[in-house]
Chain A
Amino acid sequence: MKILIIEDDSSLREIISRGLHSEGYVVESASNYSEADEKIAGYSYDCILLDIMLPDGNGLRLLEHIKSLKKSDHVIIISARDSLDDKVTGLDLGADDYLAKPFYMAELSARIKSVLRRSANSNGNKLTAGNITLDLHSRRVEVDGKELTLLKKEFDILLYFMQRPNHIVDKAMLAEAVWGDHIDAADNFDFVYAQVKNLRKRLDASGASLTIKAVYGFGYKLTEAAQ
């Protein structure tokens, strides 16, 4: 899987590149419009991460250009402007997703996977990790082929972890994703703790090969259960 990062900030470019590389992607990067244009013309990428604010040109124009080349490259816009207009324009122009800065690597990685999974279209509705299979449409969970019944919020939490295996998921981020954006200023996340604890119990009891591990203070991580 080949990914092109178009981002003018070298530090951000480098850390994204390093992060994605460690997940097994082949990563190329471009720091400006012309460099990106050259790479896009010469090569094919599975996914292009596009910062729409570039020093020598608007990223949206680059997106138009990519789409006009009729290539199958998927584009995820990363933008400092969390504006609905940009988002709508970007998606209208054919971008697959829109991610506002600042974001977590875990989030970016999940979005890339989701875009690539949609395009592969094989088992697009199903997520598998360890011996857990999660069906997005019917909202059913199977562990080792046996159905595991979960409450709505527990399912949402598990889904979130399944999209980000081996990534540390911040408590606040999890709360926002499952309960909604407006949770952001909640002064405690005990409610997250209670839900995750229940989910972990159910997973462990069902004999899942994965479990949710608490990472000191930060949050949780879906990882191999100790045998």
Chain B
Amino acid sequence: MKLFHRVILTLSLGLLPVMALWAALFYFAMVNEINDETDDVLGDYAELVMRRALAGKPLPAPNNGSNNSYSVTPVDEKYLAENPAITFYDETVYIPEKEETEPARVLKTVFCDAEGQYYEIKVATPTFERTDLLETIAYYIIGLYIVLMLTIFAVVSLVYYYNMRPLYRLLEWFDKYRPGANSEPVPDSSSVVEFRKLNMAAQQAVERAEYYFEQQKQFIGNASHELQTPLAIIGTRIEWLVNNTPLDEQQLEELLKIQRSLSRLVRLNRTLLLLSKIENGQFPEASETDLAAIIRENAETYGDIYEERNILCDTQLPESFTVHMNESLATTLTNNLLKNSFLHNIQDGKVRVTADGRELTIANSGERALDASQIFERFYHEGNPESTGLGLALVSSICRYYNIEVGYSFEEGMHRFTLKFPEEIKR
């Protein structure tokens, strides 16, 4: 949920009870006011009738077109004592002209004529229907609520987006941020204290991350470089022994085993160096490289190397598949995938290389799916101790460098590695 939506939602929910309470208050105030006014009118009317009755003038006709009605009934003193002198109340009365009952406001009081006879006078006037009033008020309140919300929505969005600009600039910056990619500095143009603090915290966090990232890269690079000389010494010394000293078969075998382990170490170190170089962006020169040609040439070589496996290699590639990247990295990228497709194949298996638009797929027969979440990790090797476990890490590193999407899937008994090249490789 976006912050803005959250703000709007809380505002709407918060306003709902307030509006309801306000509607209730409004209703009661309204009813009170109307009753008050009606009571005044009733009082006047009752007075008029009383005066006329006391003065002996003819009383108003019951049917005088005003819908007001009245009745005068003689009462005794006992009744007088039991009832209050004046009461106002609501009642439904029958209006003969309309031939229907209507809600009415009633005034009941008593008066005494010259003979000391008490009369109760009851005047009524039709008044509003409470349910109608409630309904109307409800409609208006809902309407008001909607209009108010729309207004609030408009004002809040203006105010919100205006004031939150620094936050969105920071978020946009975070989206673009790639560790070690020499990003622009954290935007810092706000005069608001909180945002300045946030930007500063982001800047510091990023600097720290960059620092450790750089340290780690340098460490791997330096360690690999420092290893080269001792590796060279061991290699040349073994070579010296084998070339220049009389050795029996057992000694030779021991040396051979050392030599084999050393070769692995050398390979491993070389790959680590390559990885560290890619991550340090030390492959700046790029040219139009034809992957189709590289693949065709090397597919043949691997076919020779794994001849005894009788692998059928089917390359369905266009005449050329050019990408703008460093040629040596392009070769490393495709060769690693191609080599894997032969190496991790089965007897009489298949290798299929296909291209579709800017997408290149290298597929090979296999027995079961690999763990897609792990295969691109460094030093992940399934069951093959001879492998450096860096081949696919290298592939993924090169792809990251050039923004190539690399994917793995296992379909119909084939491992499929797909490279999706961007329209324009920018680097």
Contact surface of A with B, Cβ cutoff 8 Å: 9, 11-12, 15-16, 18-19, 22, 53, 80-85, 100-106, 166-168, 170, 172, 179-180, 182-187, 190-191, 215-218
Contacts and interface: CB of A to CB of B under 8 A. Distances in A.
Contacts of B232: 12, 101-103
Given A85-B282, A182-B332, A185-B267, 7 more contacts: A80-B229, A102-B232, A102-B234, A102-B235, A103-B235, A179-B301, A185-B391
A190 B253 contact: no
B312 to A, nearest CB: 18
A15 B256 contact: no
B228 interface: yes
Contacts of A104: 235-236, 239
Contacts of A168: 239, 242-243
B236 A218 contact: no
Contacts of B228: 80, 82, 100-102
B236 A217 contact: no
Interface of B: 225-226, 228-229, 231-237, 239-240, 242-244, 249, 252-253, 256, 259, 263, 266-267, 270, 273, 277, 282-283, 298, 301, 304-305, 307-308, 328, 331-332, 335-336, 339, 343, 384, 386-388, 391
Contacts of A215: 242
Contacts of B305: 179, 183, 186, 191
Contact of B252 (A53, A85, A106, A216): A216
Which 6 A-B pairs give the minimum distances between C-beta atoms? A102-B232, A80-B228, A101-B228, A102-B231, A182-B335, A217-B256
Nearest to B274: A82
A22 B304 CA distance: 38
A105 B253 contact: no
A53 B228 CA distance: 12
A104 B231 CA distance: 10
Contacts of B386: 185, 187
Contacts of A102: 228-229, 231-232, 234-236, 266
A16 B236 contact: yes
Nearest to A173: B263
A191 B282 CA distance: 34
Interface of B is mostly: helix
Which of the listed residues B229, B256, B307 has the most CB atoms from chain A within 10 Å of its own CB?
A: B229
Nearest to B237: A15
B274 to A, nearest CB: 8
B242 A105 contact: no
Given A9-B233, A217-B252, A19 B240 contact: yes
A222 B45 CA distance: 138
Given A191-B307, A217-B256, A218-B256, A182 B231 contact: no
B331 A12 contact: no
Nearest to B273: A82
Given A12-B233, A218-B259, A80 B332 contact: no
Which of the listed residues B232, B239, B305, B336 has the most CB atoms from chain A within 10 Å of its own CB?
A: B232
A190 B308 contact: yes
Contacts of A22: 244
Contacts of B328: 84
Nearest to A53: B225
A218 B247 CA distance: 13
A184 B331 CA distance: 14
A190 B331 CA distance: 24
Contact of A184 (B244, B259, B267): B267
A45 to B, nearest CB: 21
Contacts of B391: 185
Nearest to A108: B236
Nearest to B257: A217
B233 A11 contact: yes
A218 B238 CA distance: 11
A106 B236 CA distance: 9
A211 to B, nearest CB: 18
A223 B298 CA distance: 32
A172 B388 contact: no
Contact of A185 (B235, B240, B282, B388): B388
15 contacts: A9-B229, A16-B236, A80-B225, A82-B228, A84-B283, A85-B282, A102-B236, A102-B266, A182-B331, A182-B332, A185-B386, A186-B305, A187-B384, A218-B242, A218-B256
Nearest to B226: A80
B252 A105 contact: no
B225 A81 contact: yes
